[in-house]
Structure 1
Amino acid sequence: MGAQDEQVAIYERSGRVAGAAPRWLMRRDGLWHAASSVLVLSPDRESVYVHRRTDDKDVHPGMHDCCAGGVVAAGEEPDSTAQRELAEELGILDAPVRFLFRSVFDQGTVRYHAFLYEARWSGPIVHQPEEVADGWWMRIAELRARLADPAWPFVPDGRQFVEEWLSWRQDHD
């Protein structure tokens, strides 16, 4: 079974799990689903790990992102997805993830319920070569400046979530 045949959790627009479908059908029909995204922060929380997606990713190839994340599989909880994606994409196996907030992304045929997390990390990062082309630490002030430039090729959902996180962070620090 290929990645596109993987069964993913399908959600109702309201946010409740409604069943499962193969990934290809979810993508083709723009079905509501869920995804977990993990911001990786330096221990002092002043830098974020930013990466560039591979040029053959199925969604937003070659663009920048600062979340390790992915679609919630059928029968999987968002917390487990966060840990799994952090390990798969960045090779971070034992960093605790902290749930921050839930959001919704709805643009064109990509619509999902997002579960946002953060993890602090100072150890090695090992990119999954199929998904991550390159990566580096970026100070939050520089990230803000880059996100203010609409021409910077940054994934649209990640842009939305980082902006929400920056606002959330002001209220929770």
Structure 2
Amino acid sequence: MGERVERVDEHDEVLGVVDRGEAIRHGWLHRVATIVCRDTGGRILVHRRPEDASRFPGHLNWMLGGAVGVAESYEDAAARELAEELGVLDRPRFLFKFLCAGAISPYWLGLHEVVVTGPVRPDPSEVARYGWVSEGELDEVVRHRAFVPDAREAFHRYRARPFG
């Protein structure tokens, strides 16, 4: 049995517990928590996914994250993913969520943000390389053909939100 997630509806209400792979295969909605990391100067972390990653190998992304587990909140999942993928122990701030069509399958994407004040220790199975870029530089990176499509959609929504 693979990773267990909550299958949800178009209102993000829980319908049941399923295997994440099954949710993806059938196009069932589930939840994903993502984190945008900024440094104290406001720059944003951008990373390249490993070449052997199962999804979007070698692609660029400005978010870290993963599936929200059973009975786990978006916020708890974001904190867990931040610790697992970047070695940072902090509580990211929830910004918004949206129903993402997804390049592989649809899901609810919860976007969080955190200011990283200490060193990072990326998990090489998740982050092949990383760097910090300004918002202007990120505008350019997002247009790169090897940018994760769902991350591009999240970026445009992030930039268009009325509160920031």
TM range (shorter): over 0.9
**Within 5 A, what are the aligned runs for 1:130-141?**
130-141=125-136
Residue 18 of structure 2 corresponds to residue 18 of structure 1: no
Equivalent position of 2:3 in the other structure: 6
Q: 1:108: how far off? A: 5.4
Contact kept, 8 Å, 1:89 with 1:132, in 2: the verdict is yes
Residue 160 of structure 2 corresponds to residue 167 of structure 1: yes
CA-atom RMSD in angstroms: 1.5
SS of equivalent to 1:172: coil
Contact kept, 8 Å, 1:29 with 1:109, in 2: the verdict is no
Equivalent position of 2:61 in the other structure: 65
Unpaired runs of at least 5, structure 2? none
* Residue of 49, 54, 61 corresponding to 1:53: 49
Q: Distance in 1 between matches of 2:109 and 2:45?
A: 19
Query: How many residues in Structure 1 have an aligned counterpart in Structure 2?
Result: 164
**Greater share of strand:** 1
Q: Distance in 1 between matches of 2:39 and 2:124?
A: 22
Q: 1:13: how far off? A: 2.3
Contact kept, 8 Å, 2:103 with 2:150, in 1: the verdict is no
**Within 5 A, what are the aligned runs for 1:102-141?**
102-107=97-102, 109-141=104-136
Equivalent position of 1:85 in the other structure: 81
Q: Distance in 1 between matches of 2:58 and 2:104?
A: 20
Identity across aligned pairs (percent)? 31
Q: Distance in 2 between matches of 1:51 and 1:108?
A: 19
* CA distance 1:99–1:55, change in 2 (3 Å): same
Q: Distance in 1 between matches of 2:51 and 2:113?
A: 26
Give the structure-1-normalised TM-score. 0.88
Q: Distance in 1 between matches of 2:152 and 2:3?
A: 27
Q: Distance in 2 between matches of 1:58 and 1:29?
A: 18
* CA distance 1:24–1:96, change in 2 (3 Å): closer
Contact kept, 8 Å, 1:50 with 1:64, in 2: the verdict is yes
Q: Distance in 1 between matches of 2:100 and 2:158?
A: 14
Q: Distance in 2 between matches of 1:59 and 1:29?
A: 17
* CA distance 1:90–1:108, change in 2 (3 Å): closer
The runs of 4+ residues in structure 1 deviating greater than 2 Å are none
